A and B are shown apart, each in its own frame.
Chain A
Amino acid sequence: MSLSRIYAIYVRQIFLLRSNPTRLATVFLWLVIDILQWGFISKYIGSLGQATFSFITVILGAIILWEFMSRIQQGILMAFLEDIWTQNFINFFASPLQIKEYLCGLVLTSITTGLAGFFAVVAIAGGVFGYNVLRIGVLLLPFMFILLIFGIGMGVFVSAIIFRLGPSAEWLGWPIPMVLSLFSGVYFPISTLPPFLHTFAKFIPASYVFESMRSILGSGTFPHDLAQNLLIGTLLSLAYLLVASRFFIVIYRKNLESGNIARFNAEAL
């Protein structure tokens, strides 16, 4: 693997971000709107009745981490779509660029934009709502690690599907985080779901993060199954990332055989 070529993919995206404020808006605008909206909703709900705990603490913490994961997934997707929109596959893949280097460049881009967005919303949550993201201490790091890996896996998987089906499939990338959030326990505990849906949640690494986090923030103590949850969440997310990367490479090879790299926008399935 060549660091120079990975950097080429990364720096192209940084050039694009720097050159156009609308691209910067995609990194920050929705996140800021989301965090303000959920912050005020939580504040309002907290003011109703006699709540015995802070809604802001429980909901805002989960929203910040969920958005971090969603932005990682969409960061990969956006960087990949840039190459589709500019019909750049011929130029890139006729160069010495290897498919693994291309993927690494996309991942690096999404980590940069994902972390930039994360720090922005953490600052807003602290400044406007007094929420301290470090409330859960060093556990923030393994939680973020699991979500980062799962977000990358999802981004690579969705990109692979678009790589196979063509540009018309790009819409697939946008609703996936919303669908997954239902089974991840972001907005409500998994136990709220009908029992037959609990099984789905067990296969989603993010559900282990949000169930553990809610338990810590709600009760103020560490759940007894925390270590087990972290382990399962980590292993699942790593497994999904490996499968998604392999899937992307297989699709790339199939496109080399079918000629779809050279005539990608023709959507010749």
Chain B
Amino acid sequence: MPGKTLSVSVPEPILRIVNVTKVYNSLKAVDRISFAINPGEIVGLLGPNGAGKTTTINMILGILEPTDGSIEILGKNMRACGSDIRKYINFAAVYAHMPANLTVWQDMYVFGLLYEVKNIKERIKLLLQEFDLERFADTKAGLLSSGELSRLNLAKAIMNEPRLLLLDEPTASLDPSISQLIRERIKGYMTGTQAGILWTSHNMNEIEAVCDRVMFLSHGVILLSGDPKSLPAQHGMRTLEELFIAVAREPLCLEHEVGI
């Protein structure tokens, strides 16, 4: 309608990263990356080993200080109010298991207290049911199989109903059946809560199945980003896996192509 302004409501991003850089001594692990994650969005962070994915996740989690740039979660600066913000985020990572010498219930209880979860015992009961861990409640976490441990990590990761969930290879080393189960649970959580999710994986089929958007990281720089279904064709590749291999082996060609 002429003369009338159309107001479109743009959701406030859950995570906003602007020009974040991390330098270790002389090595630039992450170089001025910027991106945002909106509510209800699953974003894949892809790249070869050593590309800077885990460094990025650690900076968002607040266990690594960026050298430069800003990280905002729910509109608050991470550096200024880290502890307050971390109530609304959580993570599961293949390299950070729950303490092996506590039982499943004790682990959940300790982390429930850390995240100040309300009605903690009821919440634990619900999560143990949901992740099929009830029969392991009194089993030490170190005695669980990889699949059971991944379910426990994930149960802990959504214990505080986070608005931002960071998943660093959550299905690595799991069989296809358990991987699918984990993916379903995560997607179910996102649908029910409209949380934002940052997901890293080396399984391109998985990424294509769950992610709304992907970013390719190489040598600490975001080379490409877009829809995982259409991105390969835009760069002359047939599949996401082919594109991944190209980024891993010939990042310079792609840098040239995208004008970095």
Contacts and interface: CB of A to CB of B under 8 A. Distances in A.
Interface of A: 2, 4-5, 7-8, 11-12, 15-16, 19-20, 82, 86-98, 253, 256-259, 261-262
B64 A261 contact: yes
A126 B110 CA distance: 39
B69 interface: no
A7 B115 CA distance: 12
Nearest to B22: A259
Contact of A96 (B84, B102, B109): B84
B215 interface: no
Contact of A262 (B63, B83, B101, B102): B63
A92 B109 CA distance: 13
A92 B114 contact: yes
Most A Cβ at <10 Å: residue of B63, B86, B116: B63
A89 to B, nearest CB: 8
A11 B100 contact: no
A93 B86 CA distance: 10
B98 interface: yes
A97 B114 contact: yes
Contact of B101 (A16, A90, A91): A16
B115 to A, nearest CB: 6
B64 A96 contact: no
B39 interface: no
A87 B95 CA distance: 9
Contacts of B64: 256, 259, 261-262
Contact of B116 (A2, A12, A86, A258): A2
Given A16-B102, A90-B96, A262-B64, A11 B84 contact: no
Most B Cβ at <10 Å: residue of A86, A88, A94: A94
20 contacts: A4-B113, A4-B114, A5-B116, A15-B106, A19-B101, A86-B100, A86-B101, A87-B97, A90-B61, A91-B98, A94-B63, A95-B114, A95-B115, A96-B84, A98-B83, A253-B65, A256-B64, A259-B24, A261-B63, A262-B58
Interface in B115-134: 115-116
A178 to B, nearest CB: 29
Contacts of B100: 86
Contacts of B54: 262
Nearest to B89: A94
Contact of B113 (A8, A93, A253, A259): A8
A90 B93 contact: yes
What is the size category of the interface that chain B forms with chain A?
A: 20 to 34
A16 B54 CA distance: 30
B99 interface: yes
A4 B83 CA distance: 14
Contacts of B109: 11
A87 B98 CA distance: 9
B187 interface: no
Contacts of A16: 101-102
Interface string B18-49: 00000010000000000000000000000000
A81 B24 CA distance: 26
Interface of B: 24, 54-55, 58, 61-65, 83-84, 86-87, 91, 93, 95-103, 106, 109-111, 113-116
Given A257-B65, A262-B63, A96 B115 contact: yes
5 closest A-B pairs by beta carbon, nearest first, are: A8-B113, A94-B61, A95-B114, A90-B96, A96-B86
Contacts of A98: 83
A82 B99 CA distance: 9
Contacts of A11: 109-110, 113
Contacts of B110: 8, 11-12, 15
A91 B96 contact: yes
Contacts of A253: 65
A96 B103 CA distance: 22
A86 B106 CA distance: 15
Contacts of B58: 259, 262
Nearest to A259: B64
A256 B103 CA distance: 29
A256 B64 CA distance: 5
A16 B114 CA distance: 17
Nearest to B54: A262
A90 B58 CA distance: 9
B55 to A, nearest CB: 8
Contacts of A256: 63-65
Given A86-B100, A86-B101, A87-B97, 9 more contacts: A5-B113, A16-B102, A19-B103, A20-B101, A90-B93, A97-B83, A256-B63, A259-B58, A262-B64
Contacts of A86: 99-101
